[in-house]
Structure 1
Amino acid sequence: MKIALIPEKASMRKWNIHSSRQQTMNISITSILLGLGGKCLLSWLLVFLQRKHICRSFMGVFSVSLSAVDTAVSLLFTTIHIHGDGHLMLLDLRLTRYHICLLVQILGQIYSALQWPVVIAAALDQFCTISLQPLPSRAKWIVHSFVTVLLWLLTALYVFLLSDFVPVLEDVSHHLLQQCWVFHTAQILQVITLLFLTLGCVALHAVCSTRLLEKPPVKEQITDHSRTHSRRSVACQVLCIFLNTWAPLLIFLAVLLLLPLGIPSYLGLNVAWLCFLNSFLMAVISCVVCPASQLARSVAAVPADSLCEWRFNFSLAAES
């Protein structure tokens, strides 16, 4: 792994690794520690609130693992910072504040690389839970734990062996080092963009279905009319439930997407964000699966969500 050293102060303007510098922000070590500490507290609070069913889904198991990693990293960084004079030893390696800057960049890269695999794995888990015969609780927990460990290992190997990641450190004495260069996360903005496009498609589908249903159906079109009515009903209910719960966060994400603000990569992956993604994936998959598989019932339910109650009412008269 190559390391780019940034010259100190005045000579910093002559630094020729321009592309790397554009993707980084300079944050004090104290702010990094406070940010990680606050992230840990929020993560464990959300895990506690979902304790009754946290291990029944992949996203829940991964949230617990993420909280544990954040806690371990925060304790390690705090210990290194307290012993910033270099007297702290670990496996014959003298740890200094340089290692905080190096490790926080590596951690941020791993978190950024995990964004899309976690979304895909959680979507597959939700799809299988809703549309297929569910596994026993113990078997499901084993599968979720195995996938979680595998994702962590494969992502770490990717960052160290296959990615073009180059850590950036200041060329100053570790006694004088007070700030770290931290990379932005671009993956979360990609997920936000896809999220808003999906919500737009759902809203457009609901509007188009409404106009279609205004036309009186002929006898040959009764079945298609009933299916369209049911899908429109689910789409509208999903949109209302999701927006009622997450509207403030959606507004914040829209502002984040429009303004040129950077998100530190070590904060991009957190349990609050995972809870939001979990609700979003439940909404999308419910729109796709429930009308096709559960129209025979008057009520269809999807897996438990501590923040959204995903229950839909179907009109059986519309389907007869």
Structure 2
Amino acid sequence: MSIPSILLGLGGKCLLNWALVFLQRNHTCKSFLWVFSVSLAVVDSILTLSVTTLHVHADEYALLLGLKLTRYHVCLLVQILGQVYSALQWPVVVVAGLDHFFTVTRRLQPTTAIARWIVCLLVTGFLWYLTALYVFLLSDFIPVMEDVSYYQIHQCWVFHTTQILQVAMFLLLTLGCAALRAGCSTRSFKNPPLRDQITESIHSRTSVVHQALHIFLNTWALFLGFLAALLLLPVGIPAYLGLNIAWLCFLNSLLITVVLCAVCPGSQLAQGLAAVPPDSFCEWRFKFSLAAEDRT
């Protein structure tokens, strides 16, 4: 890929990142995923400014932490950050999923918002640090820095990422299994002899799954179609663009849906004993009928 096209992609990614950070500023310190989103926007901005500076001063060099960087380091920076972004996909999913699970079940919650923000900040920094160590010391990543002709000097080898499709497929399959399990439970207890507590609990769980799926699909149906097109078409996603805040917003809603379908806190939600993690795209409102009494 040519360096100007890489700069254009990084610039557009930065604008989208900061626009989404601004739109969701009320949720920034309320969960791990939003704290990580701000850190990603900062790292993307630093990468874009560094690559732009090196590309503009093509015949000179720039100093970064005492190192002399030239235009030959542009490709190196893009490849390294792209590899770090790819390696971060699964750890972010795991940590964000645990954070959402603890939020829904009201477990391990800090007593104050400041304490929660500090915990999320420490986990975010630790995650970046461990991922960088993995890429440099443990992975088999080898940058492609071969000699090229003069006409190709403004082009870079760019790695592509498959982690986005892997994460999406895994979570969607998990979601499908949860929905199938809820449907089987409903059919098993379709005509119970007595409307006892167990039957009421099953109907409450089924209602949570159906409503959560309905809310999620109403919001992200077009994005799911886009992912399906990426899966069917032989189109690669550049690694330096793979991890972005738009993807994290979709991931946030998908993880909330998976956790709600797995935990099924119908009675807890109705009584205010469970909380839904912050989400700027999906409006998580549930309606229940427990003990012949409608509650919202």
Q: TM-score w.r.t. structure 1 length? A: 0.85
Identify the residue that residue 248 of structure 1 maps to in structure 2: 222
Candidates 141, 159, 174, aligned match of 1:183: 159
Residues 245 and 307, structure 1, Cα contact 8 Å, conserved in 2: yes
Note the 1:3-152 alignment, pairs <5 A: 27-90=1-64, 93-132=67-106, 134-135=109-110, 136-152=112-128
Q: Which amino acid aligns with 2:279?
A: D
Candidates 284, 287, 294, aligned match of 2:261: 287
> Secondary structure in 2 aligned to 1:315?
strand
Which stretch of the first structure deviates more once superposed, 289-298 or 190-199? Answer: 289-298
Question: How many residues end up aligned between the 2 structures?
Answer: 292
Question: How far off is 1:282 after superposition?
Answer: 1.0
Distance 1:103 1:231, change over 3 A: same
Where does the alignment leave 5 or more consecutive residues of structure 1 unmatched? Answer: 1-26
Q: Does 1:212 align with 2:205?
A: no
Percent of aligned pairs sharing the same letter? 64
Q: Does 1:315 align with 2:285?
A: no
Residues 86 and 242, structure 2, Cα contact 8 Å, conserved in 1: yes
Distance 1:108 1:57, change over 3 A: same
Question: How far off is 1:190 after superposition?
Answer: 1.1
Residues 226 and 318, structure 1, Cα contact 8 Å, conserved in 2: no
Distance 1:238 1:103, change over 3 A: same
Question: How far off is 1:175 after superposition?
Answer: 8.2
Structure of higher CA gyration radius: 1
Which stretch of the first structure deviates more once superposed, 84-93 or 138-147? Answer: 84-93
Q: Deviations over 1:51-96 (max 9, x none)?
A: 1121110000000000000001101100100011234344564422
Question: How far off is 1:123 after superposition?
Answer: 0.9
Question: How far off is 1:318 after superposition?
Answer: 5.8
Task: Give distance in 1, aligned partners of 2:65 and 2:276.
Answer: 48
Identify the residue that residue 16 of structure 1 maps to in structure 2: none
Q: TM-score w.r.t. structure 2 length? A: 0.91
Which stretch of the first structure deviates more once superposed, 84-93 or 114-123? Answer: 84-93
Residues 298 and 313, structure 1, Cα contact 8 Å, conserved in 2: no
Q: Which amino acid aligns with 2:153?
A: L
Where does the alignment leave 5 or more consecutive residues of structure 2 unmatched? Answer: none
Residues 189 and 199, structure 2, Cα contact 8 Å, conserved in 1: yes
Question: How far off is 1:281 after superposition?
Answer: 1.0
Identify the residue that residue 278 of structure 1 maps to in structure 2: 252
Note the 1:162-181 alignment, pairs <5 A: 162-172=138-148, 176-181=152-157
Identify the residue that residue 193 of structure 1 maps to in structure 2: 169
Question: How far off is 1:156 after superposition?
Answer: 0.4
Q: Deviations over 1:235-292 (max 9, x none)?
A: 0000000001101001111111222221111111000111111111111112233427
Residues 61 and 148, structure 1, Cα contact 8 Å, conserved in 2: yes
